[in-house]
Amino acid sequence: MDKIIVKGGKRLNGTVKAEGAKNAVLPVITASMLASEGKSDITDVPVLADVYTINEVLRNMNASVHFENNTVYVDASNELLTEAPFEYVRKMRASVLVLGPLLARYGHAKVAMPGGCAIGSRPIDLHLKGFEAMGARVHVGNGYVELEADGRLHGAKIYLDMPSVGATENIMMAAALAEGKTIIENCAKEPEIVDLANFLNKMGAKVVGAGTETIRIEGVEKMYGVKHTIIPDRVEAGTFMIAGAITGGNILIENAESEHLRSVISKLEEMGVTVTDEKNGIRVIGPDKLLATDIKTLPHPGFPTDMQSQMMALMLNAYGTSVITETVFENRFMHVEEFRRMNAKMKIEGRSVIIEGPGDLQGAEVAATDLRAAAALILAGLRAEGFTRVTELKHLDRGYVNFAEKLASLGADIERVDENGDQVNPFMQVDYQTDQVIPQLSQS
C-alpha cells in the first residue's frame, strides 16, 4: 500500500492548477446516459479513481465509454442495461446517480442500496420520494433498490426536506425526460448543480432555476449527446488555498473560481490570510500568525462540509480557540483521532469540535479515514515538526489528482512511496479498484 511522507516546515510558493470538479463530473457522466442519440464529449475531467469507477458502471450497462487526455467520450445510444451491482456502489456512493437517468429512459432501474460510510449514514430516501412522486414504484429488498414505472414518468411538485445534492441531481435527471413539469423546492444550490443543469440543457432538456432554491423542469421526449467542459474543483482549490495559508506561503491557484468559494475565502480572511482574485485564479498569502475562528458547515452557499477537515488542520495552527460545528453529516469527525496522534489539542462536544491552538503539531503515522481527511492530514504534516506518514491513500485517490506531486512542485518536502519504499511515478495514478498503477492519459 502506498504512503505519503511529508516533512513539515517548508513555505509553499508557486502556481498550481485546479482540476475539473469530481462532484460535477460524476453526475454529468451519469446524465450522458439520457442521450439516446449522439455522443457526449466531456472535457476537463480529472484522472481520479471515482471517474474510473463511474466509467466502469456505465460500461457494465452497455454504454461505450473511453477516457483519454482528460476527456470522457460516452456513447449511450445502444440499448442500456438498467442495473448497477453492489461492487460499484460500495466503492462510490455516487453510483446511485444512475437511478434517475435509467428510470427516465427505460422505466426501470435497479441499484445496490448504498450503505453508510465513514462520514455518516447517508440515506437516499429523498431521491426515492422524488421518484415516487413522478410515478415510480419503489421496491427495496435483498440489498437492492428497484424502481419501476409504467411508461413515461410524469412531472410533479417535490419538496426536499433538506437540500440534498444527490437527490436534486437524480430528480433533475429523471424529470428531464418526464412528461410535463417538475418543480423541485428547497433544492441544493451547489455550483455542481448548475453545471449539471447546463449540461442537461445542452442535451435538449428544459431546466431553469439551477443555483436557486427552486428548480423547474419541463420534460422533453428525447435528449442528445453534446460537448461539455466541467467546472473547476472548488474543494481541490480550497485545499490548496489552505496549503498556502498553513505554510505561510504564497500560492496562485489557477482556474479557481472565487464565486464558488465565498464562504471559505471569508473564513480564511478572518484568520489573517490574504486572498486576492487574479485574472486567472486566486492568490493566497499565509500570515506569520494565524487567528482562531469558528465555522459551521452548511449546504451551499454556506461553508462546505468537504472543506471541514482541511480547515481543522489550519485551525490547529491558529492562535486562540476555534470551534467547528458539522451540521451536514452526523459523523464527519473520524479524523480527530488521527490529528490527536499528531499531538493536536481538541475535544468533540456533540456535533462540534473545540480546538485550542496553536498546537505543537508533531509528525506521526496516521491513517486517512475519508477523502478529505486524507488531504487534511497531509496539510497538517506540511506544518508539523518532523515526518508525517499518511496511509490509506485509496481515499485520497478518489478525489485528488497527483496531490503529493502538486505539493512538491510548490516546494513541499513530500513524496509518495509504495510498500517497498520506492517513489511512485508522479505521472501515474493508482487505480484503487485494482490497486494497479495505470497510465494517466489513457483508458479504453
Ligand X SMILES: CC(=O)N[C@H]1[C@@H](OP(=O)(O)OP(=O)(O)OC[C@H]2O[C@@H](n3ccc(=O)[nH]c3=O)[C@H](O)[C@@H]2O)O[C@H](CO)[C@@H](O)[C@@H]1O
Which 294-313 positions form the footprint of ligand PEP (CB under 6 A)? 306
- Contact partner, 110, from ligand PEP, ligand X, none, Cβ < 5-8 Å per class: none
The dihedrals phi and psi of 345, each to the nearest 5 degrees, come to -105, 105
Rounded least distance, CB 222 to ligand X, Å: 27
Q: What is the DSSP string of 117-162?
A: BTTB----HHHHHHHHHTT-EEEEETTEEEEE-SSS-B--EEE-SS
- Contact partner, 372, from ligand PEP, ligand X, none, Cβ < 5-8 Å per class: ligand PEP
Map residues 92-131 to x or -, x wherever contact with ligand PEP holds by CB under 6 A.
Answer: -xx------------------------x------------
Map residues 338-377 to x or -, x wherever contact with ligand PEP holds by CB under 6 A.
Answer: ---------------------------------xx-----
User: Residue 171, annotated ligand binder?
Assistant: no
Rounded least distance, CB 105 to ligand X, Å: 21
User: Residue 345, annotated ligand binder?
Assistant: no
Q: How many CB atoms lie within 10 A of CB 270?
A: 14
C-alpha cell at 101: 437517468
Map residues 247-286 to x or -, x wherever contact with ligand PEP holds by CB under 6 A.
Answer: ----------------------------------------
Q: Which residue has the cell 422505466?
A: 107
- What does the binding site for ligand X look like in residue numbers (CB under 6 A)? 23, 26, 93-94, 120, 122-127, 162, 164-167, 188, 305-306, 328-329
How far, CA to CA in Å, does 235 sit from each of 189, 240, 252? 16, 9, 15
Rounded least distance, CB 111 to ligand PEP, Å: 15
User: Residue 328, annotated ligand binder?
Assistant: yes
* 196: contact with ligand PEP by CB under 6 A: no
Q: How many CB atoms lie within 10 A of CB 37?
A: 12
Rounded least distance, CB 315 to ligand X, Å: 19
Rounded least distance, CB 66 to ligand X, Å: 22
User: Residue 122, annotated ligand binder?
Assistant: yes
Interface with ligand PEP (CB under 6 A), residue total: 8
Q: Which residue is nearest to ligand X (CB)?
A: 166
Nearest CB to ligand X, comparing residues 14 and 123: 123
Helix ranges (H only) for 304-393 are: 308-315, 335-341, 371-383
The Cα 206–Cα 198 span in angstroms is: 10
H/E element, 202: helix 191-202
Asked if 65 and 72 touch (Cβ cutoff 8 Å), the reply is yes
Written as one letter, the residue type at 426 is P
User: Residue 370, annotated ligand binder?
Assistant: no
Nearest CB to ligand PEP, comparing residues 110 and 395: 395
* 192: contact with ligand PEP by CB under 6 A: no
C-alpha cell at 332: 464527519
User: Active-site positions?
Assistant: 117
Q: In what order do the strands lie in the sheet with 108-112?
A: 83-84, 108-112, 144-148, 137-141
SS3 content of the chain, % helix, strand, coil (to 5): 35, 30, 35
- Contact partner, 123, from ligand X, ligand PEP, none, Cβ < 5-8 Å per class: ligand X
The Cα 366–Cα 294 span in angstroms is: 25
Binding residues for UDP-N-acetyl-alpha-D-glucosamine: 93, 122-126, 306, 328
Q: Which residue ranges make up the site for ligand PEP (CB under 6 A)? A: 23, 93-94, 119, 306, 371-372, 399
